[in-house]
Structure 1
Amino acid sequence: APFTGEVIVAPAVDATIDAVPDLCESGDLQPLSAAESGGVWSSDCEDCLVGASFDPTVGAGTYTVTYTIDDICVDTDEVEVVVVPQADASVNLPDWVCLALEGLQPGVAWPGGVWTANCDGCLSDIGTIDLMQAGVGVLEITYTVEGLCGDSQSVAMEVVGCDVEVVNVFSPNGDEQNDELVFQYLTSFPGNQLTVFDRWGNLVYQKSNYGNNWRAEGVAEGTYYYVLTIPGKEDLTGSITLVR
């Protein structure tokens, strides 16, 4: 016999998942939503779903999330969720460094960041530190990795003057080799004073803020004696032999 009665046709369902932005692996739970509620969420990652939210602390990677409405009418959708790794802006620098170094390159865990410092012109785009430009004092450096999962770290490093190295001979003969009386690292100590005497105690040369440039013009060969005064340090004394 022909069927007679009422037929109920259920409306179609829509499981389309709303867009999910890229997530940072150190970020908070990301709520998930779809065109219609009432479905079931699942994924290809273990413990990355907390109810209807995605937990990015599962780790960096690309994961597939599926949403299924299973009623009279059935629909399903899936979306890829991208979790970006957490950047690490850690900087490896010593607590202090001697000013003698011409340049110092900090170590970093994560390349490609931006460098800034509390000095003018002492830091290159790739982070190389010009210590002579920085000068003596506390140098503060900040390294920033930009982006969704960025990071920033600031470190302090003390730049100190190196111990001055004394000399005992120089030869101002115009050959541009050892022509000047040079105390290595002396330029790190402003306010210094050099005094030179002959063997009878007569003053031969004196200069405040000595710039390592005495050529002993008009001074005969022989042995001379110096006193190098550096603020905050003991006087350096000794003999030098002048050879032409």
Structure 2
Amino acid sequence: MTPPASGALTSIDASFNLVIDYSSLTFSGTENVTIEVCDIYAACTQQTFTIEVVGKINVFNAISPNNDGDNEIFEISYIDALENTFENKVSIFNRWGTLVWEGINYNNVDVVFKGLSNSGNELPSGTYFYKIEFKSGLKTESGYLVLKR
């Protein structure tokens, strides 16, 4: 077997299943894997298959909603693509711990934080805090977010 270009670890388990371990990587994307199998007479065959690897969520903690096309939203990569993260609740708090925005099933498209409160008011520049909870029971993620106008 040719090792995957991503650097993922590969092995064959006791039941002769191919195991590709991406757990220590941040790789996401398409990966081609080629397997060659040979019998005791050295007759070989090859098979190449393509797999799509979707990584864990990635939280970008800066937003500048000024209509220049860059960093307009609070981006959480893959939150709507992974089975254990697409059912979620994202909460944004100000520096005093007051909830200013909340969205159910955040998806970076129509359920997305754009620097506005839940009532539609523009929030001032500053440091905010986020909490991401998952219905699947996955560990809650939290951290800070810088909003700059």
Task: Give your verdict on TM over 0.5.
Answer: yes
1:32-51, aligned counterparts within 5 Å? none
State the alpha-carbon separation in 1 of the partners of residues 145 and 115 from structure 2: 12
Aligned mate of 1:216, from 109, 115, 126? 115
Q: How many pairs align?
A: 113
Aligned equivalent of 1:201 = 97
Aligned mate of 2:133, from 220, 229, 232? 229
Aligned equivalent of 2:50 = 128
Secondary structure at the residue paired with 1:105?
A: strand
State the alpha-carbon separation in 2 of the partners of residues 101 and 197 from structure 1: 30
1:110-149, aligned counterparts within 5 Å? 110-111=45-46, 127-129=49-51, 131=52
State the alpha-carbon separation in 2 of the partners of residues 207 and 91 from structure 1: 44
- Structure scoring higher RCO (CA < 8 A, sep ≥ 6) equals 2
Aligned mate of 1:240, from 133, 140, 145? 145
Judged with a 3 Å threshold, the aligned counterparts in structure 2 of structure 1 residues 166 and 214 are, in CA distance, closer, same or farther, namely same
State the shift of 1:177 in Å. 1.1
Q: Is 1:105 aligned to residue 32 of structure 2? A: yes
State the alpha-carbon separation in 1 of the partners of residues 106 and 115 from structure 2: 13
Q: What is the TM-score with the length of structure 2 in the denominator?
A: 0.61
Q: What is the TM-score with the length of structure 1 in the denominator?
A: 0.40
Structure 2 segments unaligned to the other structure (5+ residues): 5-9, 11-19, 37-44, 117-121
Identity in percent: 26
Amino acid of the structure 2 residue aligned with 1:106: V
Judged with a 3 Å threshold, the aligned counterparts in structure 2 of structure 1 residues 105 and 209 are, in CA distance, closer, same or farther, namely same
State the alpha-carbon separation in 2 of the partners of residues 100 and 184 from structure 1: 13
Secondary structure at the residue paired with 2:129?
A: strand
Aligned equivalent of 1:44 = none
**201-210 or 95-104, which deviates more:** 95-104
Residues 63 and 115, structure 2, Cα contact 8 Å, conserved in 1 = no
CA RMSD, aligned part only? Answer: 2.8
State the shift of 1:97 in Å. 3.7
Aligned equivalent of 1:87 = none
Residues 92 and 108, structure 1, Cα contact 8 Å, conserved in 2 = no
State the shift of 1:100 in Å. 5.3
Aligned equivalent of 2:71 = 178
* Larger-Rg structure: 1
Amino acid of the structure 2 residue aligned with 1:175: D
